[in-house]
Structure 1
Amino acid sequence: MYRSIFTLVVSSVMAGAGMAYAGNASAASYPDKPIKIVIPYSAGGGTDQFMRIVSERASRLFGQPITILNKPGGSTVIGVNAVIGAAPDGYTLLVSTNTSYTLIPYVMSPQPYAPEKSLDYVATLGQTAMVLTANKAMPSDLKTVLDEARKSPGRYTYATYGMGSSTHLAGEVFMNDTGVEFRHIPYKGVEAVTALAGNQVDLMIDGVNAAGTMLDAGKTKALVVLQRQRSQFLPDTPTLAEAGYPQAAENIISYVMAAPKGTPAPIIDKLQRGFAEALRDPAVLEQIKAMRTEAAFKGPEETREFVAGQSAMFKDIVEKKHIKF
């Protein structure tokens, strides 16, 4: 009996050691086959364009093909869950905006997934500033807009990409921080941009990369960027601090890479180092700049801290303003 128990224990230890060795061996040879990156947005969007630029360089560094798989739908839930359900071996990755990690899991009911329990963060790869834009009929300075809004709450309308979108919640945070009330007009995707340019709504918060085309064409105008430093793409537009709101929350769109929970740490390390190197390539940086986006690398721990901070901000505003989805 004792010999049987001893044999069982020894067998279990050896099996565990074998699994650990196999895991280490796998990490050592990683990657030895193609890598898939799931993007939970349609092809041609900002996230898709950004990752196709970066992945082409990363593929050469890793010596393996990197395939982009677009899985839009369900407010990014379909694509995110496809990665959560994949093997944690580093060959299926997720790249999405911070919306998928900081917003969607906390505003949808029932909760579609819990990022901290289902995903391991690899890195933050890039970002674009968010900007408050106005139609051509609106005042050109933020102070006048806010003063008028305080006199008549709800007088001004602001467009978003839909209820619960990053543009919606960014607007709610902005109104809370500045003490004004705009009237929310949700649209389906890019219809919001068209409505703003056509003077059907007064204001909109959007990423600089998405807002840039209408700004360049003179169909809309920028009032303030929602970050601490001026955007290189809107050098003449003041920041929140310059506009008199140094305590207002920053709102940026970040491109975050994650892997299924349980992905070995050595593989996470290889991935984040490889993509960090890709982002140092001058040709990659030039292409990213052309789409009004910046390389902004953060490692796994810094990314985790960023996600936690943004999640807390959005959860707080949803509870404070009793926003229902």
Structure 2
Amino acid sequence: MIVVQDRISVAAADLPRLRALLEQRYLPAARGRGLTLVDSGVSPPLDRGRQPCTFWLRWQLADVGAFWTMRAMAGMDPGVAAFWAEVDGFCPARTREFLRPDAFADAPLPGPVPLAAFLGQPRGWRETAQLHLRSGIGAEQRTALETALARMAEQPGVLDAHLGHNIAVAHGAGHYTWDVRYRDAETAAAAKASAFWTGTLAPLFDRCLERMDLMALETVAAGARRPDLRTGIKRTALFRLMDGVDQRGRDEFERDTLEMPAYIPQILNWRLSRALPPAGGGATTIPWSHVWEQEYARLDDLNGPYMIHPHHWAFVDTLFDFESGRQIVDTRICHAYCPLDGGMLGAELAQSSQHGKETR
């Protein structure tokens, strides 16, 4: 069982309005999303004039699966966002917290493990893209596109290139995740001006792709528990901080995200980057602010331990949730995952480490 606790700061004079909104526009649908209201209260039980009081709501959810179902259903119901927007119009602050119901139990809380031994700086200039195919593209055209993209690894100045077939074309993901690591930004720009790019790739992009979301990566931090990992699952998540988020908010998001591998050992290799326009011109603005990549041994490690760990659903996810009162990340995200063929995140760190040894 999960305990969900809402704290809403509200003037005593506005309590009747808040209660009416909850009863008429939130409670009926909340039950359908799996939330069971346990109790509510006001603290302090006084009208202090200009000083707001706190209205408490305590709910129960069956388990972590019920949590993610609730999150998905709330995201698909515009009435939920409209409700909280109206509440925010007259309530100065609110937060949603998740509690373990056995607060006096002896069981220890999940804690982090040290990551310092796994951290490193990737070598080179990498760009990642989500490739969205046009409707009706046939097998022959797909084969031609895939064959040409595979040849990117042979081009001058390209350290490595990977084309992944995304397992699910949903949640903003394209049909492919395409990663190319160049020696540097100048090499990347030169590659896009080459005869191979302009004469082979560009015409295929025009014929086959509805959209290509291409961006360069500015590393915030990266790590590799398994630099030798060659098969498994690579997950690419694209996020955008909401308009108006300041440096403090960005730092909070990056810090909390980068804590995840310390709590979730199934994240074998990882890299958090700020998204930049790709080298060589083209896109001057991109719809994402961050790229969060992970590698796993199995798909079950992404769908299981990653999704059910409380550091994810009870902590980091609040930055994405408009019901939490902490949201700083846009609800529109890209969640792409594909089979790993040859390794990438661990490999680029391992090569960086080897390069450092060679130059010392």
TM surpasses 0.5 = no
Q: TM-score, normalised by structure 2?
A: 0.25
Q: TM-score, normalised by structure 1?
A: 0.27
**Structure with larger Rg:** 2
Greater length-normalized contact order (CA 8 Å, ≥ 6 residues apart): 1
Which structure has the highest strand share of the two?
2
